[in-house]
């Protein structure tokens, strides 16, 4: 039994993670932390979990967490996350970090996009990016895994094999992304108030979204090219689900069929990437750890689609998949 | 031209009211107030109105409002509302009050339900309740009109004629009410956060909702009976629209047909109440000032339905209808 | 390994059932039937299941089904269901029937509400009603279980203990029910077209809904009283989730606390009924097999709430719970 | 008084058109046609209009329509539309055609995209495209106006001034479009069934949508360039509202500010195009005839946004705006 702690257990990703871990035969959830002073029962914070887990959220020190848990899932905000995680690693815990802190490899790029000094810069370039479809072998046995952002997951899974195959040009890729509202977190805000977000469709963070450098870094590194994606996210009036529609110049006489073949070949043995011939819908992946990808040739462009559940494959499901790899459990445990 | 001011112009009812008044040929909106110190343009507060009205929201004194406006629509919270409105009336303005302050006639009942002393108790019993279908003649020429609550509007319009005709028993009436989320106001709250309210259905305020005494008072007074309604509101994952489903004991051998006739007779000449033979849907009244009502006999009970747009017939449309009566404009002006 | 067949596998309940059964360690799905001539792969019919089950839907004879399966889940329309199921039972299969065919005990009542002769009337009074919380011992080892209707599940679980305790009067109970749109099935219809059902709220089947006699029969039989519920369902613009709000006369000086105690005592050991002190929300039970119930005393009435996921506890989850009891597997297998 | 007929009055665009025309002081709706044999009252077909218009839908010949109406709004399917409209024009009616039949100028291009011979090819190149912001003078007094498609309206209004100013390159423009479900019409279909479309997000018609040649034709003609847009529409789980997010290469050192200035200059006097500095939301234009546009420079690209209500500025509001121009009424009549 691996003893588990979740840091910052009040949000949607923690709730989804708990739902998955409660089905995992090899784990026991031992600690849930919050930075609030009150110690609410998990059933108060996440009423859907009432009757499934009898645990309080607690304001625990890092030392207390390290005493109770073998593996820690960190759902803390960036910068706060690395500060705690570096201590947990030193104390011998393994960590899956949901924050962005260990996804980038360059502290200066981090500071530019996150407007804060990185508290643990040395670990940045050494940390594996937790996308098993690209970095499986490095994740096996790792002590720290940087769980990918939701948009990067869908974008990279859709684009990476085409880039590596040289079928699409690395420069000028447009990623038009759409996400359900859980992607914006659980804190009430004016634009996320039901009567504002419902029946509405809005772009946000145009040209400024922090997933931009993450997508460029991983695509460029893995495919050995240099990308400069233009990334535009939009808020969709639904709970969960994320679709990226990417546009890239085709480099040669590629057709829909030959582009699809590249994806099919690359993902032939992947348990959680489905290369589909029809067009994707986020509902087909909702509440699952699947990523559905497909591609169409339209004129000189490849139009590439990737659909995930932003809370599962885009966060908590990916974390469990990484956890399974880290501890050598079957990769799909608790995820099907 | 009647010069108009709106007090507390940041909410949804003010926005809807502006939309209606901008179509009214006999009015000019001259002042919009806010209690905030900043003076945002109306287009910042209500972006949908951009390009339609060039006015700032201002933190105005009562005297300034009275100088600029002949008629004031008050969208202030209860208690705060009566304090200002009593001064405006003394200064010669006419007022349509959206708050609950002048809907009840007994200061003690008010204090029991609203937990505050009424700032202007003498005017309470003298104020007309702004439901034209019951109190039209008293509204004509009135200086102060208490605009009804949204649930009371639908409930009273559906039940009042049946009660007065003696077709249903006044004791033991159950009103199961359902409302879209705009009914809960514009301030972000945890339970109104999109991912909480969306795809969810919740009762609230069971046995405690402040519209309960309002419904009992108006029904009892108008139909000369004594009701004790059990009123249970529910939050529905949609923007606007309200349905009440009421259950009352039938007093004699009434059938669906004869019950419908009572409603049809009473509302034959009403411009905004439609007695329908089919079942209602809130979407059929959305963005309109109509109230659709119907009734079914089921066993010993009459099942009575009333559907409105909570922001129009349940608030701003009713206010304009009252305004038209107060100033002797055609009652449907700006409302069709 | 129990070999499973699902009859009529194109709808939402079959999809949910498959999702649950694919997590069940003791079963193997061997046949999916359709009355259509084409033989689509399950991934075409239920794209969310792509990659999880490699099986075609087939137009199979009863004999072929009986050859392939030990236990059959029937998702066929009423009357069609009993005709097939009686043959499967004779052939030695066990059956969980989702249709209404074996829920009532009187063929004449059945014919009155379903406008058709019952094809297998003799089995009607002998069949156990698959609500484990009331009839667990009879379900154990049963060969045929009538899976309850979704509204009856929520209504009966909320009301039955209060009725049996004599806390509420059996006559004059009002059940105001609300359901997400999956409850209306998968066939496109004008009133279920997205732009008609979205942002809309409508009652339907007032005084005529077929769940009425089912609720009356089970409540009356189990609590040894005679009820005559008035049942009014409403369509809510959301996918899944069902809430019943029931109103009953209190028989004595019951308070919210003492009414809650009755429910708490009765459901103390139930794995899937949660007696909550707060008010329920359908989202807290969505995608789970839980039923959340609570009660409030309001004047002379008890206001009783029951919330379920109409597709899980209201259909497919209940079916798996019944299956587990029939085969003596732990009752919560595949359901948590 | 201009006498009006609407052909094909059962759909959403006809309903919206009626709602607008009923507010127009200079028109009288005299005929509503349907190709069905029954003659339903408009209140049966469009229950929201109950009590506002007392007219039946009728299966009328072209001659009968011409006798009753001065101006005809055609909401018929393509090809069927031109066949009727050519006769109406010959009979002396003026026409606003909602179909695509007169939007393109080349019968061969039409046949390629619509898979049918054009019934009235000679009028194609002579017909004015009803986008007042580009072709106002030609619309004035016109006898036939081709009402634009919804996506072309948003896309052209956002892109045209930037193209004409030479600020963006005409080749390689990507238009990622998103629309509410009313854009797909009123006929129930499997993918538009509420539980399929709700909480879902899907692309459709990738590389094949018929608005593609319309956008290319109008942009190229008006801006005297040659475009080859890649156009990808998506279905959004909301009733109404449409957003296009377009990506084009910037031709020189343009900044967000200078790009915005081009739009502001071009639309300075337009009553229905609002150049906004913030990011658009479809809800801000819902139920209005406004188009909100804005632009951002991101790296080498201009990211251009256009938001409309697909049923108003994208269909019925545009039609009324065109009608006002054709008959020399103030352009905003019935639209504010």
Give the gap in angstroms from C-alpha B46 to the nearest C-alpha of chain A. Answer: 11
B193 with A182: Cβ contact below 8 A: no
- C46, C184, C193, C237: best to mutate for the D interface, most D CBs within 10 A: C193
Q: Which of B71, B75, B93, B150 is catalytic?
A: B150
* Contacting partners of chain D (3+ CB pairs under 8 A): A, B, C
- ipTM of the complex as predicted: 0.97
For residue C54, which residues of chain A lie inside 8 Å, CB to CB?
A: none
Closest CA in chain A for residue B48: A196
Query: Would you state the pLDDT for residue C98?
Result: 98
For residue B281, which residues of chain D lie inside 8 Å, CB to CB?
A: 47
Closest CA in chain B for residue C299: B230
Give the gap in angstroms from C-alpha D264 to the nearest C-alpha of chain C. Answer: 35
C200 with B243: Cβ contact below 8 A: no
Contacts of B286 (CB under 8 A, 6+ apart): B240, B241, B309, C199, D48
pLDDT in tens, D52-101: 999 999 999 999 999 999 999 999 999 999 999 999 999 999 999 999 99
Q: Are C285 and C309 in contact (CB under 8 A)?
A: yes
Is B188 within 8 Å of chain A by CB?
Answer: yes
Residue D171: how many other CB atoms lie within 10 Å: 13
Is D13 within 8 Å of chain A by CB?
Answer: no
For residue C278, which residues of chain A lie inside 8 Å, CB to CB?
A: 47
Q: List the 155-174 stretch of C: residues with Cβ below 8 A of D.
A: none
Among C249, C300, C303, the residue with its CB nearest the CB of B232 is C303
pLDDT-flagged residues of chain A (< 50): none
Burial of B257 (0-12, 13-18, 19+ CB in 10 A): exposed
- B148 phi/psi in degrees, rounded to 5: -70, 160
For residue B50, which residues of chain D lie inside 8 Å, CB to CB?
A: 274, 276, 284, 290, 292
Q: List the 279-308 stretch of D: residues with Cβ below 8 A of B.
A: 281, 283-288, 290, 292
- D188, D194, D199, D310: best to mutate for the C interface, most C CBs within 10 A: D194
**How does B125-161 read in b/e, with b if 16+ C-beta sit within 10 Å?**
eebbbbbbbbbbeebbebebbbbbbbbbbbbbbbbbb
pLDDT confidence tier of residue B37, bands split at 50, 70 and 90: confident
Q: What is the mean pLDDT of residues C2-11?
A: 98
**How does A87-118 read in b/e, with b if 16+ C-beta sit within 10 Å?**
bbbeeebbbbbbbbbbbbbeeebbeebbeeeb
* Contacting partners of chain C (3+ CB pairs under 8 A): A, B, D
Contacts of C67 (CB under 8 A, 6+ apart): none
Q: How far apart are CA A314 and CA A327, in angstroms?
A: 21
Residue C77: how many other CB atoms lie within 10 Å: 13
A50 with C287: Cβ contact below 8 A: no
For residue A290, which residues of chain C lie inside 8 Å, CB to CB?
A: 50-51
The 3-state secondary structure of A115-154 reads CCCCCCHHHHHHCEECCHHHHHHHHCCCCEEECCCHHHHH
Q: What is the mean pLDDT of residues B192-220?
A: 98
Q: Are B259 and B167 in contact (CB under 8 A)?
A: yes
Give one DSSP letter per residue of C73-135, joined into a string. Answer: EE-PPTTHHHHHHHHHHHTT-EEEE-SSTTT-S-HHHHHHHHSS--S-GGGGGGSEE--HHHH
Residue B257 pLDDT > 90:
yes
B192 with A189: Cβ contact below 8 A: no
- A50 phi/psi in degrees, rounded to 5: -50, 135
B12 with A186: Cβ contact below 8 A: no
D288 with B48: Cβ contact below 8 A: yes
Burial of C277 (0-12, 13-18, 19+ CB in 10 A): exposed
For residue C239, which residues of chain D lie inside 8 Å, CB to CB?
A: 194-195, 198-199
pLDDT in tens, D99-152: 999 999 999 999 999 999 999 999 999 999 999 999 999 999 999 999 999 999
B274 with D22: Cβ contact below 8 A: no
Closest CA in chain B for residue D307: B48
Q: What is the mean pLDDT of residues D213-238?
A: 98
Q: How far apart are CA D254 and CA D235, in angstroms?
A: 32
Among A180, A192, A237, the residue with its CB nearest the CB of B193 is A192
Verify whether residue C150 is a known catalytic residue. Answer: yes
Q: How large a percentage of chain C has pLDDT more than 90? A: 99
Query: Would you state the pLDDT for residue B87?
Result: 97
Query: Would you state the pLDDT for residue D251?
Result: 94
pLDDT confidence tier of residue C325, bands split at 50, 70 and 90: very high
Is C256 within 8 Å of chain A by CB?
Answer: no
* Contacting partners of chain A (3+ CB pairs under 8 A): B, C, D
Residue B185 pLDDT > 90:
yes
Q: How many CA atoms lie within 13 A of D195 on its CB side?
A: 21
CA distances from B307 to B19, B242, B267, B293, C201 (A): 21, 6, 15, 6, 9
Query: Would you state the pLDDT for residue B193?
Result: 98
Mean pLDDT, rounded, of chain C: 97
Query: Would you state the pLDDT for residue D128?
Result: 98
Residue with tokens 């290319």: D216
Among A200, A206, A234, the residue with its CB nearest the CB of D296 is A206
Q: List the 234-253 stretch of B: residues with Cβ below 8 A of C.
A: 234, 236-241, 243, 245, 247, 249
Is A228 within 8 Å of chain D by CB?
Answer: yes
pLDDT in tens, C54-67: 999 999 999 999 99
> Catalytic positions of D, please?
150
Closest CA in chain D for residue C237: D194
Is B47 within 8 Å of chain D by CB?
Answer: yes
Residue C37 pLDDT > 90:
no
pLDDT confidence tier of residue D258, bands split at 50, 70 and 90: very high
C202 with B281: Cβ contact below 8 A: yes
Mean pLDDT, rounded, of chain D: 97
A22 with C336: Cβ contact below 8 A: yes
Q: What is the mean pLDDT of residues B139-151?
A: 98
Residue A330: how many other CB atoms lie within 10 Å: 12
pLDDT in tens, C106-152: 999 999 999 999 999 999 999 999 999 999 999 999 999 999 999 99
Among C180, C228, C298, the residue with its CB nearest the CB of B206 is C298
| DSSP structural state of residue B19 | H
D188 with C190: Cβ contact below 8 A: yes
Q: How far apart are CA C321 and CA C332, in angstroms?
A: 7
Give the gap in angstroms from C-alpha C184 to the nearest C-alpha of chain D. Answer: 9
Task: Spell out the domains of chain A, with CATH numbers in brackets.
Answer: 2-126 (3.40.50.720), 150-310 (3.30.360.10)
Kind and range of the H or E run holding C302: strand C301-308
Q: How far apart are CA A185 and CA A201, in angstroms?
A: 17
Residue D37 pLDDT > 90:
no
Contacts of C253 (CB under 8 A, 6+ apart): none
pLDDT confidence tier of residue D46, bands split at 50, 70 and 90: very high
B286 with D199: Cβ contact below 8 A: no
- B149 phi/psi in degrees, rounded to 5: -70, 160
A239 with B199: Cβ contact below 8 A: yes
C194 with D194: Cβ contact below 8 A: yes
Query: Would you state the pLDDT for residue B43?
Result: 97
> Catalytic positions of A, please?
150
Among C271, C276, C287, the residue with its CB nearest the CB of A287 is C287
Is B12 within 8 Å of chain D by CB?
Answer: no
Is A40 within 8 Å of chain B by CB?
Answer: no
């Amino acid at each position: 039994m691996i003893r588990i702690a979740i840091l910052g257990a009040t949000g949607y990703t923690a709730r989804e993670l708990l739902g998955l871990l409660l089905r995992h035969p090899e784990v026991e959830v031992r600690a849930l932390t919050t930075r609030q002073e009150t110690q609410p029962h998990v059933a108060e914070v996440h009423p859907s979990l009432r009757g499934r887990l009898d645990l309080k959220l607690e304001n625990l020190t890092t030392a207390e967490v390290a005493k109770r848990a073998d593996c820690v899932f960190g759902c803390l905000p960036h910068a706060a996350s690395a500060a705690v995680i570096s201590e947990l690693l030193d104390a011998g815990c393994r960590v899956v970090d949901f924050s962005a802190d260990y996804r980038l490899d360059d502290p200066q790029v981090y500071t530019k996009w996150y407007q804060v000094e990185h508290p643990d810069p040395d670990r940045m370039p050494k940390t594996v990016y937790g996308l098993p479809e690209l970095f499986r072998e490095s994740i096996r046995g790792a002590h720290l895994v940087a769980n990918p952002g939701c948009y990067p997951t869908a974008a990279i899974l859709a684009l990476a094999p085409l880039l590596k195959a040289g079928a699409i040009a690395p420069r000028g890729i447009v990623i038009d992304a759409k996400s359900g509202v859980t992607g914006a977190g659980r804190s009430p805000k004016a634009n996320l108030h039901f009567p504002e977000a419902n029946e509405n469709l809005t772009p946000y963070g145009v040209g400024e979204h922090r997933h931009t450098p993450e997508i460029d870094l991983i695509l460029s590194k893995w495919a050995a090219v240099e990308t400069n994606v233009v990334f535009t996210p939009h808020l969709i009036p639904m709970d969960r689900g994320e679709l990226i529609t990417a546009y890239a110049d085709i480099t040669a006489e590629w057709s829909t069929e030959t582009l699809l073949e590249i994806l099919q070949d690359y993902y032939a043995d992947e348990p959680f990437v489905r290369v589909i011939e029809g067009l994707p819908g986020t509902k087909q992946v909702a509440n699952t750890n699947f990523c559905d990808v497909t591609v169409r040739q339209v004129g000189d462009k490849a139009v590439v689609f990737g659909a995930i559940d932003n809370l599962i494959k885009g966060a908590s499901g990916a974390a469990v998949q990484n956890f399974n790899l880290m501890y050598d459990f079957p990769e799909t445990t608790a995820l099907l």
